[in-house]
Amino acid sequence: MKRNLLKAIGISFLIFVVLSWLIPVSTYSSGDLTTNGIDPVGLFDLFTVPVSTIVTFALYVIVFAVIGGLYGVMEKTGALTEWIQRVANRFDGKEKRVVVFTIIFFVVLSSVTGLILPLFVLVPLFAGILLAMNFNKITAMASTVGALLVGSICSTYGFNITGYTKNILALDMNNQIWAKVILLVLLTAILIFFVLKYSKISAKKAAVKVEATPKKVETKKAETKKVETKKVTKKAAPKKGTQKKKTTANLAVAKDVKKVNVKKGISILPLIVILVLLMLVTFAGMYNWYYSFEIELFNDLHSTIMGVKIGDFPIFEHLLSGSSELGYWGNAEFIMLMIMAAALIAWIYKLKLGQFVESFIAGMKKMLPTAIYAGVASVILTVLYQASYAGSGTLVDTLFGHTFDLSKDFNAPIVGIASLYGSFFYNDLYYLLTSMQPYIANFDGNMIGIAGLLIQSVYGIGMMLFPTSVILIAGLSYFDVKFKDWFKYIWKFALAAFIIVIITGCILMVL
């Protein structure tokens, strides 16, 4: 299964390599496209570029690995399993309500914050609940990772989506906000309908006694895996609505790590509180308040704290050396927060130091393939970034130039098509916007606002489809789903979303 994913990434890279031998690179400035000839990817580059990608995007790799470590500790305590079991039992017979809640939860958080990578930390938890309810893996993935990406399509105030669009295209944060809200409601409803229509629940549910440290349940390798359950004696057959489920979540912790012995009914409140605090602090630290809404509160607070002195000695300037203001945190700070959260969980649940280290490392090992694939997904972006830095231009500029030459005036379908294939090459919206900005800079101000909506929305659709998407690749690896199976599953929704976004752009043009 993992080799299949590597094949999808490899084919994407080879497509780019072939195009680099066929399409000349160009630069675009002041309305003129300057072609600089062919700049192909060489044989030696086929081996060095993937390595450079891992080095360049090492923080992506570390983020996913540390997410695994966090879940390794959480499962070691037994509280995570207890949490999943309680939710699964509580909503027995109401599984589809949980799917609806999960989709809305991830879509809204993604749309409002734009922090898609940090929000991935919640995916294993919700995936565990859905898998425990006997939904198949692709349904669980669509309800979590798919919902995250739909939130990016309909980004309202997410800084890493709408914030980039605002600053690069010189727009307002409220640009086309009502159109975005309508898209948010509409596409969320369509995703819910789509997922529920194609969701699969095993007809036979496990009727087994829930233990404090249940054993893992083996699953078959078929696409629609059914949970293998132990036979239950007729004497102890539970009544309908009271049967217990055994957790089948593919959590990050390695299977060979033993959980600590815990009492049945272990408190899950500390775990819930720590996760909530982790996400709140992450949101406060990683959402850029100044560049989104010109809020200077956190900048001023940071300056005030750093200015505190004991005598003439700036105590906090040295104690908090290297720290950034809230709003300017990056993946490094997020990694630090997750490690601190894991340590706090271990302390509250009285794990010994050896148990903490063992479970954290085990979780990282289990998540390591996902982390590596997520890093390699940016292999094309690495080549384009290097070319842009060198100033020689890219083949994508050539494609953009010819595409936008098809119409002298603003044209929503053309912007949408350019954004779609552009997102295949640029899996980071910042670089896609930077690359497209010169081509739409001369449009009327209102049209630039519509272009911004189209680019960020179509980019989100591309991230649901292309194996260059970091979050998609991470999701496929984590859920162990083949790329071709996911594409067959999601393409109808993606096509509907693309059509709706383009129609929205066309309507806005005439209003």
pLDDT in tens, 274-293: 999 999 999 999 999 888 88
Phi, psi of 219 (to 5 degrees): -125, 150
Q: What long-range pairs does 342-350 form, CB within 8 A, spacing at least 24?
A: 342/69, 342/70, 342/73, 342/74, 344/274, 345/73, 345/74, 345/77, 345/79, 345/270, 345/271, 345/274, 346/73, 346/76, 346/77, 348/270, 348/274, 349/77, 349/78, 349/79, 349/260, 349/266, 349/270
What pLDDT is recorded for position 266? 85
Rounded Cα distance, 410 and 449, in Å? 11
Closest CA to 93 of 134, 141, 123: 134
- Number of residues in the chain: 511
- Specify whether the CB–CB gap between 218 and 228 falls below 8 A: yes
Nearest 10 degrees: Cα torsion 83, 88, 90, 92: -170
Rounded Cα distance, 227 and 206, in Å? 8
pLDDT band at 226; cut points 50, 70, 90? very low
Q: Has residue 264 got a pLDDT over 90? A: no
Closest CA to 253 of 435, 68, 43: 68
Q: Has residue 40 got a pLDDT over 80? A: yes
Conformation bin of residue 413: beta by default, left when phi > 0, alpha when psi is -120 to 50: alpha
Rounded Cα distance, 160 and 96, in Å? 31
Looking at residues 84-107, what average pLDDT do you find? 95
Q: What is the 3-state secondary structure (H, E, C) of 453-475?
A: HHHHHHHHHHHHHCCCCHHHHHH
Which amino acid is it at 428? D
- Please state, in angstroms and as integers, the Cα–Cα distance from residue 93 to each residue in 20, 129, 221, following that order: 54, 14, 26
- Specify whether the CB–CB gap between 111 and 156 falls below 8 A: yes
Rounded Cα distance, 141 and 344, in Å? 29
What pLDDT is recorded for position 317? 73
Is pLDDT larger for residue 222 or for residue 80? Answer: 80
Closest CA to 382 of 58, 117, 62: 58
Looking at residues 394-420, what average pLDDT do you find? 94
* pTM of the predicted model as reported, rounded to 2 decimal places: 0.86
Rounded Cα distance, 272 and 270, in Å? 5
pLDDT band at 238; cut points 50, 70, 90? very low
What pLDDT is recorded for position 502? 97
Q: Has residue 422 got a pLDDT over 60? A: yes
Closest CA to 340 of 356, 321, 317, 319: 356
**Alpha helices by DSSP H, 349-378:** 353-376
pLDDT band at 434; cut points 50, 70, 90? very high
Mean of all residue pLDDT scores within the chain = 86
- And the tokens for 153? 């399509």
Which amino acid is it at 57? F
Is pLDDT larger for residue 308 or for residue 426? Answer: 426
Rounded Cα distance, 177 and 367, in Å? 37
